[in-house]
Amino acid sequence: MERTWTTALAGKIGQLVRLMGWLHRLRQHRNVSFLVLRDAKGLAQIVVEDPALVERVAALHAESVLAVTGVVVARPEAPGGVEVHQPVFDVITAASEPPPFDLFRPRLPAQLPTILDHAPVALRHPRHRAYFQLAAALTGGFRATLRDLDFTEIQTPKLVAGATESGADVFPVDYFGQTAYLAQSPQFYKQMMVGVFERVYEVGPVFRAEPHDTPRHLNEYVSLDAEMGFITDHTEVMAVLSRVLAGMLGAVRAEAAAALTLLELELPEVPAAIPSLHFTEAVELVSTATGEDARHEPDLAPAHERWLGDWAKREHGSDFLFVVGYPMRKRPFYTHPDPHRPDYSNGFDLIFRGLELVTGGQRLHRHEDYLTTIAARGLSASSLAGYLDAFKHGMPPHGGFAIGLERFVARLVGADNIRETTLFPRDLHRLTP
């Protein structure tokens, strides 16, 4: 007999169906018991009246895997408006222990470390599962939008010979007796690939050996990267990013509607023109409003990003805000300066609900500019030889951006800690499960 998804029951009233899934909950009453079965799509309520059957089911631990055959009955007061009656159970796999926490509560009744210790079980909770349905939809929307814009997908190596971003924050790997490093970003490779495909994107892991123990940092995360050639400046990159964000949120609406309902989420709108402030304007606003003089800082403090996020919401009704033209001295060596104000960059951050979500900008494209900046910053041209090769041989003006996937989900669902929206987080203290 073919399997029916729990979410398809409402269309099968009066029919005999076969469900398969996990024993989510059993509520025993004097005359009748209710078993809630969970499958990949949803939940179904099964009415068990036969005392012998109730006893058999009650002997199973929650999370046992069952097949249930029964008749679908309309019941307006039941969840989803249907129930399954006259059930026959097959135990596919009996759980050997009860779960470490009740999965049927609206929120997992456990602290974050316990949830993370038991991730294989915790992720089965409908709310946690929904986070990763959002992540899958966002990722799909990222790719689909860029494919429509003539971008080509690439997969670049994660074992590399040196740092791409900051030299200190790389993980060393014992590579057949040599030292390799884990890529902090696909930055160099996506730039090189602009010489091949002009427009490229990659979805992949990045590794940051930052010894930060904060609710915002991970040591491994998923980066959604794009890079494009033949641009005039960073504003074209920002325009593509705006379309990508709209495409990502559109994919969530289209493909993760059930997750949105379950999480009771309002998705943000991407404004036709995302409000934009120059870095100098942003620090001026913050300094005037807060009385803290941020005018000589090379970067925005987290509290100032939050203030600017509130400002964008208040003044422009926007959850998104571009801050453009960060000082060159805090941006990586490949950053292109603003030709009119060379102490400032053609680089931007996108702040989403008060947190930096995307970093991007125009990159240097002339070989001689790379040699100059590498010398000025005291970097080693020889360790960058492979990368510089691309620039010797003709590269167009180009730029791109990188979106942190887990961070995007965390801000969308209002998670306090990015670990909640990370499948199996890696941090200073955690390498398992």
Strands (E), 298-415: 320-324, 337-338, 341-345, 347-352, 355-363, 398-404
List the one residue from 12, 147, 278, 316 that touches a copy of itself (CB under 8 A). 147
Nearest distance, CB of residue 321 and a copy of itself, angstroms: 27
Q: Which of 36, 164, 199, 331 binds a copy of itself (CB under 8 A)?
A: 199
Q: Which stretch binds a copy of itself (CB under 8 A): 139-147, 244-252, 305-313, 332-340?
A: 139-147
Chain positions 74 to 93 lying near a copy of itself, rule: CB under 8 A, are 92-93
Please identify, using beta-carbon distances, which residue of 209 and 285 lies nearer to a copy of itself. Answer: 209
Residues contacting 386, CB < 8 A, separation 6+: 161, 188
**Considering only residues 3, 27, 212, 329, which one is a binding residue for a copy of itself as defined by CB under 8 A?**
3
166 contacts a copy of itself (rule: CB under 8 A): no
Q: Which is nearer to a copy of itself, 188 or 311 (CB)?
A: 188
Q: Burial level of 171, CB count in 10 A (0-12/13-18/19+)? A: middle
60 alpha carbon, distance to own chain's centre: 36
Report the residue from 167, 172, 215, 414 that binds a copy of itself according to the rule CB under 8 A. 172
Helix (H) or strand (E) holding 69: strand 65-74
Q: Which residues make Cβ contacts (< 8 Å) with residue 21, sequence separation at least 6?
A: 6, 37, 38, 39, 40, 44, 65, 66
- What's the length of the chain? 433
13 binds a copy of itself (CB under 8 A): no
The answer to the question of residue 219 lying near a copy of itself (CB under 8 A) is yes
Question: What residues from 388 to 427 belong to the interface with a copy of itself (CB under 8 A)?
Answer: 389-397, 405, 423-426
Q: Please answer whether residues 126 and 256 qualify as being in contact, where contact means their C-beta atoms are separated by less than 8 angstroms.
A: no
Q: Contact 221/421 with Cβ under 8 angstroms?
A: no
Among the listed ranges 6-14, 119-127, 318-326, 410-418, the one in contact with a copy of itself (CB under 8 A) is 119-127
Closer CB to a copy of itself, 206 or 286, in the complex: 206
For position 96 contacting a copy of itself by CB under 8 A, the verdict is yes
187-197 vs 385-392: helix axis angle to the nearest 10? Answer: 30
Q: Determine the interface stretch with a copy of itself among 107-115, 116-124, 243-251, 279-287 (rule: CB under 8 A).
A: 116-124
Helix axes 279-290, 302-316, angle to 10 degrees: 90
Answer for the pair 101, 110: CB distance below 8 angstroms, yes or no: yes
DSSP type of residue 420: G
Going by C-beta distance under 8 Å and a sequence separation of 6 or more, which residues neighbour residue 118? 99, 100, 101, 110, 433
Is position 254 an interface residue for a copy of itself (rule: CB under 8 A)? no
Residue 222 engages a copy of itself in binding (rule: CB under 8 A): yes
Check residue 173 for interaction with a copy of itself (CB under 8 A): yes
174 is a contact residue toward a copy of itself (CB under 8 A): yes
Q: Exactly one of 11, 13, 28, 230 binds a copy of itself (CB under 8 A); which one?
A: 230
For the bound state, the minimum distance from the C-beta of residue 388 to a copy of itself, rounded and expressed in Å, comes to 9
Residue 288 tokens, joined? 């005037």
Query: Which residues ranging from 298 to 317 are in contact with a copy of itself (CB under 8 A)?
Result: none
Using CB under 8 A, pick the residue from 57, 84, 160, 328 that binds a copy of itself.
Answer: 160
* Interacting positions 345-364 with a copy of itself (CB under 8 A): none
- Long-range interactions of 207-211: CB distance < 8 A, separation 24+: 207/158, 207/170, 207/171, 207/182, 207/183, 208/165, 208/169, 208/184, 209/168, 209/169, 209/170, 209/171, 209/182, 210/169, 211/428
Q: How far is the CB of 302 from a copy of itself (least distance, A)?
A: 23
- Terminal CA-to-CA distance of the chain, rounded, Å? 36
> By rule CB under 8 A, what count of residues binds a copy of itself?
95
Find out whether 142 and 151 touch, Cβ atoms under 8 Å: no
Which segment (9-17, 51-59, 115-123, 234-242) binds a copy of itself by CB under 8 A?
115-123
205 binds a copy of itself (CB under 8 A): yes
Residues numbered 14 to 73 that lie near a copy of itself (CB under 8 A) are 20, 22-23, 39-40, 61, 63-65
Burial class (CB in 10 A: 0-12, 13-18, 19+), 216: middle
124 scored as a contact of a copy of itself (CB under 8 A): yes
**Closer CB to a copy of itself, 100 or 275, in the complex:** 100
